[in-house]
Amino acid sequence: MQVDQKETSIIPRDDVQNGEFLQSQSIIYASKKLQDDLHVLGLKIKQHENNVKFLKNEKNKLEDSILDLQVILGKYHSATQPNIENDRRSSNQSEEETTEQILQHEKSAAGILCQLRLHYGTCASHLTLTKDVLGIVATLGKVNDDNLSRLLSEYLGVETMLAIVCKTYEGVTALETYDKEGHINNDSGLHGLGASIGRALSGRFLVICLENLRHESLNMSFCNLEFHGYGLRETLFYNLFSRLQVYKSREDMLLALPCITDGAISLDGGMIKATGLFSLGNRNDVDVRFPKPSLAANLPDNYSETEKQLSGMKWKKDKLMEDVKREQSLLNAAKYSFERKKEEFVKFLAESSAYATQCPEAQLVYRPPSVVDMLEGRL
């Protein structure tokens, strides 16, 4: 049987055009999606670039301010340099001399601790035994006047000057342990430490726990350390000196007897230990004394505030540098994603162009965009 070729079974032309239309719509959708992705990535790149630029400008401003403050502090140091030389020639002792005085008490708890810190430095403060120890009384207070330093040291006495200062009661218990019978364990704590360095601890020693002290006002001693927001001046030294009064002479001190409730000293050597308890005779120089304050005490009042500002600015600069690194990392990631998406888009354009060439009818519905047109407008 003959078959008319006009009646040969083929896909209707309308169906072909419909399929090509759907394919073109799919291409258009995919193209739009890629364009939108590129646009979003372009905006991210622009945002991160602006952020990096802003942060770097802020860093530059901070560096200028830091330099200005460093110049100001440098002028302070230059102006006070002669005073430093005078201090070195004066009879007022330094912190190193105070430490040397403590080390002379070889078998004392304070001497053993100083030996430990002398040989191990900052590592010693990380030991379980000593991590809660702030220091020795003699090293934590600073007095500007040498005569007053001698008087205050004598008033406290050597035993108190060599007392160990701990932040908490837990630190106190770490210094000395006991066996079941209540005897001291000589293999642990300060006793064990002393034995290990050939300086067996003998006798009693005082330990002061700041955790148990009230916070009060006292302006006599200069201190170089603070504890949980309260200065040692208001805790440790208030406890040691309480309401101690200082007079110019014995005569002035005796005239003020009705007003003296806890104790008093006079700059010419007079001393009242407590109400009704007079200390007579010649002055006994204690061999462990408070050191003189460092250079900071001779600087202008606003020096400390300037140092705080400088420290704050350096901290802000470090934070800005971290922010710059983070933004630069995000910028690099966005650029990498953009390049990958661009490659994907270029590949898509090539494939869609090939499809349009093979199916001329599709060009009526979809015309691939120019790569140049797309990428030039990314930002």
pLDDT digits (tens, 9 = 90+) for 29-48: 777 888 888 888 889 999 99
- Asked if residue 313 lies in contact with residue 73, where contact means CB atoms within 8 angstroms, the answer is no
Give tens-digit pLDDT for 176-217.
Answer: 988 888 898 888 889 988 888 788 888 899 999 988 887 776
What pLDDT sits at residue 66?
A: 86
Give tens-digit pLDDT for 58-106.
Answer: 988 888 888 888 887 776 666 555 554 444 444 456 778 888 889 888 8
Whole-Å CA distances, 226 to 140, 175, 223, 331: 10, 22, 8, 44
Contacts of 300 (CB under 8 A, 6+ apart): 76
Q: Which residue has the higher pLDDT, 10 or 112?
A: 112
User: Helical H runs in the chain?
Assistant: 13-89, 95-103, 109-120, 137-140, 146-156, 158-161, 169-175, 189-196, 236-241, 250-255, 303-358, 360-363, 371-376
What pLDDT sits at residue 275?
A: 81
Give tens-digit pLDDT for 116-169.
Answer: 887 766 666 667 788 888 889 998 888 878 888 888 899 999 999 999 999 889
- Asked if residue 172 lies in contact with residue 166, where contact means CB atoms within 8 angstroms, the answer is yes
What pLDDT sits at residue 236?
A: 85
Handedness of CA 241, 244, 246, 249 (dihedral sign): negative
pTM above 0.95, yes or no: no
Region of residue 149 (left: phi > 0; alpha: psi -120 to 50; beta: else): alpha
